Amino acid sequence: AENQPLADQSPAELAAFLAAQQQAYTDLQGKGLKLDLTRGKPAAAQLDLSDALLGLPTGPKDSAGVDTRNYGGLEGIAELRAMFAELLWVEPEQVVAGGNSSLVMMREVLTDLWLKGGVDSERPWSQEEKVTFICPVPGYDRHFTLLDWFGIDTVTVPMNSDGPDAEAVAALAANDPSIKGIWIVPTYANPTGSIASLEVAERLASMPTAAPDFKIFWDNAYAFHHLTEDEAKSADILSLASAAGNPHRPIMFASTSKITYAGAGVAFLAGSTETVSWYTTHLGKGAIGPDKLNQLRHAQFFGSAQGVRDHMTQHRLIIAPKFDEVDRVLTERLGGLGVASWTKPTGGYFVSLDVLDGTASRVVQLAKEAGIALTPAGASFPKGDDPHDRNIRLAPTFPEMGEVSAAMDGVATCVLLAAAEKLAG
Ligand code: PMP
């Protein structure tokens, strides 16, 4: 009964299958592995691609003659703003180049909305009786912990292959004024790899909302992080929203964390020019200017927007084989058994693995006890609560190729054992 769906196997076959998986798991534990697939970090070989940064900039002045060693220029240096404006399909004056973390920028924007309200708010969000965000699931765990930290309520909608379920979002936003926003990773979503289609983006940009200051946090962390030669282009959310009469609705975020250095890149925010001055005005209460020297070395390192795209090809050549390996091992070990499905992303940093309902936390526990660290089950849901206990996020970029193979083989064993326990138990 090899490769026959487990659910179709006789009790005797299932009992034999369970015994075989228990033995396989004992063997796995005997290997004494110590592997980590928890976070989407670039591998050392990827960081090495950007080491020319360590010899830059060639001088302290940017091409506009600004001395980047000094204070000032809250919105970032002009040449880097222009470069990323081209990449993100917006105008240079709609872009802020900031510090090393877009997640910090997102927290700042939420803080400013909370304390002061947005350009289109009636009052600060903290003065609302209740604030709710729509969360496509599975999604990015740090979005959810940030919302939780603010005391912002969450309501989930499905993340489909063409982006968030736009009709579900529109229905929620239309009727409830406490619903103030949605977080979207539009291109190569974390963790599903979905790409928000133009139709979905258009619907979200134009839908009527009960809250006048509804915000789309358009977190384009993986905008250029293609895994195939077919390079998806993100929908132009700022133009779509502007054309629909909602110019202040989207706020876009991106960074070079997974382009140059995860700890020393440059982060970007983009929005209407009103949103940009709203953001820099509040930023200016706590800063006199960003690390312009880091911005300048990035501008010199890339040379142009095309330089960024070319650089991303180098990343693809390093990490795409790891994603292929994940798919190869999972297909070989789990294919046809009806116990798991997984994404085959064309970009981004993750594979989303769905196992039998009720077994994800068991799989993560088994893996841990065999020396394989996985992201906690439920991490891709608000409050860490996956209602079906089925989703596991896999991050294969950081480990070496051999480690990816060993880890995925081990994960497959854990998936099979957990499934056998459930079905035979
Ligand atoms: N957004 C998403 C969707 C991410 O996956 C990550 C990194 N894992 C970030 C933001 C963090 O970006 P940054 O390094 O610019 O703070």
Give CA 249 to chain center in angstroms.
20
Q: Token pair of 181, please?
A: 């926003």
C-alpha of residue 419 to centroid of ligand 1, in Å? 33
Write down the pTM of the prediction: 0.97
Q: Let me know: does 254 contact 102? Beta carbons within 8 Å.
A: yes
Contacts for 398-401: CB closer than 8 Å, 24+ residues apart:
398/36, 398/37, 398/39, 398/40, 398/41, 398/42, 398/43, 399/35, 399/36, 399/37, 399/43, 399/322, 400/43, 401/321, 401/322, 401/325
Residues making up the chain, counted from first to last: 425
- pLDDT value at position 2? 57
- Taking the C-alpha atoms of residue 170 and residue 216, their distance in angstroms, rounded to an integer, is 12
CA of residue 349 to ligand 1 center, whole Å? 10
Query: Which residue, judged by its Cα, is nearest atom 1 of ligand 1?
Result: 221
Q: Which atom of ligand 1 is nearest to the CA of 40?
A: 8
- Ligand 1: nearest atom to the Cα of 350: 5
CA of 102 to the centre of ligand 1 (A): 6
Q: Using most ligand atoms within 8 A of CB, pick from 37, 256, 257 the residue to mutate for ligand 1.
A: 257
CA distance 145 to 135: 12
Question: Ligand 1: distance of its center to the CA of 210 in Å?
Answer: 29
Residue nearest ligand 1's atom 11 by CA: 103
C-beta of residue 25 within 8 angstroms of C-beta of residue 366? yes
Residue of 136, 143, 127, 207 whose CA lies nearest to 165: 136
Domain ranges of the chain: 6-46+310-424, 62-303
Q: Which of 103, 252, 298, 350 to mutate to test the pocket of ligand 1 (most atoms within 8 A of CB)?
A: 103
Query: Residue 23 C-alpha to ligand 1 middle, in angstroms?
Result: 39
Q: 62-303 has which fold? A: Aspartate Aminotransferase; domain 2 (3.40.640)
Among protein residues, the one whose CA lies closest to atom 4 of ligand 1: 221
For the chain, what is the radius of gyration of the CA atoms?
23
Q: Which residues of the chain have pLDDT under 50?
A: 1
Task: Return the best residue to mutate from 96, 108, 135, 142 for the ligand 1 pocket (most ligand atoms within 8 A of CB).
Answer: 142
Q: Return the best residue to mutate from 255, 260, 269, 351 for the ligand 1 pocket (most ligand atoms within 8 A of CB).
A: 255
Residue 407 to residue 371: CA distance in whole angstroms: 9
Ligand 1 centre distance from Cα of residue 263 (Å): 11
Residues in contact with ligand 1 (CB, 6 Å cut-off): 40, 101-103, 140, 185, 190, 219, 221, 255, 257, 267
Q: Report the C-alpha dihedral over residues 51, 54, 58, 62, rounded to 10 degrees.
A: 90
- Tens of pLDDT, residue by residue over 11-69, are 999 999 999 999 999 999 999 999 999 989 999 999 999 999 999 999 999 999 999 99
Q: Which of 47, 137, 190, 252 best tests ligand 1's pocket when mutated (most atoms within 8 Å of CB)?
A: 190
d(CA 62, CA 80): 10
Q: How far is the CA of 242 from the centre of ligand 1 (A)?
A: 26
**Atom 8 (ligand 1) nearest CA:** 40
Q: Judge: domain 6-46+310-424, CATH 3.40.50.1980.
A: no
Given the DSSP bridges, would you call strands 372-373 and 179-184 parallel, antiparallel or unpaired? Answer: unpaired
d(CA 178, CA 336): 45
- CA 185 to ligand 1: nearest atom: 3
Dihedral sign computed on CA atoms, order 139, 141, 146, 149 = positive
How far does residue 19's CA lie from ligand 1's centre (Å)? 42
Q: Kindly give the pairing relationship between strand 267-270 and strand 372-373.
A: unpaired
Two domains, one topology: 6-46+310-424 and 62-303:
no
